[in-house]
């Protein structure tokens, strides 16, 4: 089998900083509540004219600038994980292809909410392993602020806008190991963004193009199951938890990350996050945490990291990578 590896990662966040205090003027909330319940202090919002594809393009521009040896024209597939696409079609990936005038790239958007980036990495590995593709951009990009219900204080304080990109290439040694994926669709109505069908699993939902979340249910589901998924993923790859240098769990809520770390007896200082300054950026949160740690010099070449995304579906995807 042909091996695949993530050879470069970069990110982009919009300029507009939104502090917790910003919400205090608009809804009944306090900085102290937000920090103690979520760990979030700030997030970024895209400008009115900035859409998800614009953030994705900026992340790829940063990737190219920081890695001048990347032959972007040789990219042969683009996967954009997003729940906040500019439009359903053309895909966000097609917009990225067009911006860089990449001559021969298949393009798809993946809708797997906050697990989307890891789904993308697993799909990219599969294409490389099949021998049909050699150079794949996996992008997680979101403009959640455009789909946020700012009258719902339990969800609006969570979300931020960002984009992250990973280049997946064939390699001599394995850099992306076996992944796991799974879904419990019975929880569909616990986290949804409805623009069309009024029913989810036969139950009526709000159709207003905004994100709706039953926070307590999603919280409980994540804390109950993500620890066991980490153990499952390690067993699948015949690895021990001590073989991991880092775990990057989707940055939804610091309390979820702490509870999952505790459930598998893993030190919190080895859990990489991106939520403190960027909030919950859905499919961008994992590459953002990766990039922050790499820039800080903590995440290094040769390290093993377990990536685990979870979110609307409810769905999850996990994979272990060697940096
Ligand atoms: O990214 C996709 C996956 N998503 C997630 O993983 C999110 C999972 N859920 C969560 O992170 C948490 O459930 C939230 C952060 C959304 C909410 O935190 P919580 O600790 O579960 O709060 P809660 O919903 O149980 O609410 C506790 C109290 C309530 O008041 P009462 O009923 O106890 O009087 C809420 O009305 O906190 C109140 N509350 C707030 N108070 C101040 C809810 N939102 C706010 C707020 N400011 N923004």
Between CA 142 and CA 281 the distance in angstroms is 7
What's the mean pLDDT when you consider all of the chain?
97
- Point out the ligand 1 atom lying closest to the alpha carbon of residue 285: 1
Is it true that domain 3-173 has CATH number 3.40.47.10? yes
Contacts of 74 (CB under 8 A, 6+ apart): 134, 135
- Point out the ligand 1 atom lying closest to the alpha carbon of residue 154: 44
Between CA 188 and CA 29 the distance in angstroms is 27
Q: Where are the domains of the chain?
A: 3-173, 177-322
Q: What is the predicted pLDDT for the residue at 272? A: 98
Q: Are 84 and 140 in contact (CB under 8 A)?
A: no
Between CA 284 and CA 141 the distance in angstroms is 5
Q: What is the predicted pLDDT for the residue at 206? A: 94
For ligand 1, whether the C-beta of 83 sits within 6 Å is: no
Residue 194 has pLDDT above 90, yes or no: no
For ligand 1, whether the C-beta of 154 sits within 6 Å is: yes
What topology does CATH give the domain 177-322? Peroxisomal Thiolase; Chain A, domain 1 (3.40.47)
Q: What is the predicted pLDDT for the residue at 195? A: 87
Cα 251 to ligand 1 centroid, rounded to whole Å: 15
Cα 267 to ligand 1 centroid, rounded to whole Å: 25
Q: Is 156 a catalytic residue?
A: no
Residue pLDDT, tens place only, 254-291: 999 999 999 999 999 999 999 999 999 999 999 999 99
């Amino acid at each position: 089998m042909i091996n695949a590896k993530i050879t470069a990662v970069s990110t982009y966040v919009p300029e507009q900083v939104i502090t917790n205090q910003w919400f205090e003027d608009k809804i009944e909330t306090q900085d102290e509540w937000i920090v103690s319940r979520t760990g979030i202090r700030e997030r970024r919002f895209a400008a009115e004219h900035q859409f998800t594809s614009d953030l994705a393009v900026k992340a790829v521009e940063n990737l190219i600038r920081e890695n001048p040896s990347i032959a972007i024209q040789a990219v042969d597939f683009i996967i954009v994980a997003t729940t906040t696409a500019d439009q359903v079609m053309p895909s966000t990936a097609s917009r990225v292809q067009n911006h860089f005038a990449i001559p021969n790239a298949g393009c798809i958007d993946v809708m797997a909410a906050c697990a989307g980036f890891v789904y993308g990495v697993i799909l990219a590995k599969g294409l490389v392993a099949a021998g049909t593709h050699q150079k794949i951009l996996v992008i997680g990009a979101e403009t959640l602020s455009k789909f946020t219900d700012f009258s719902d204080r339990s969800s609006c304080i969570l979300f931020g806008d960002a984009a992250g990109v990973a280049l997946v290439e064939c390699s001599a040694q394995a850099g992306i190991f076996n992944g796991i994926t799974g879904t419990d669709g019975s929880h569909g109505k616990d986290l949804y963004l409805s623009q069309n069908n009024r029913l989810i699993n036969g139950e009526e939902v709000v159709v207003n193009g905004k994100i709706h979340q039953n926070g307590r249910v999603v919280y409980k589901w994540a804390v109950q199951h993500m620890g066991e998924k980490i153990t499952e993923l390690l067993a699948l790859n015949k690895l021990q938890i001590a073989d991991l240098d880092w775990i990057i769990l989707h940055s939804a809520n610091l309390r979820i990350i702490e509870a999952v770390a505790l459930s598998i007896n893993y030190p919190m200082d080895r859990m990489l996050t991106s939520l403190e300054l960027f909030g919950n950026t859905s499919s961008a949160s994992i590459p953002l945490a990766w990039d922050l740690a790499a820039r800080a010099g903590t995440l290094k070449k040769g390290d093993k990291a377990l990536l685990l995304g979870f979110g609307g579906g409810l769905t999850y995807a996990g994979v272990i990578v060697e940096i």
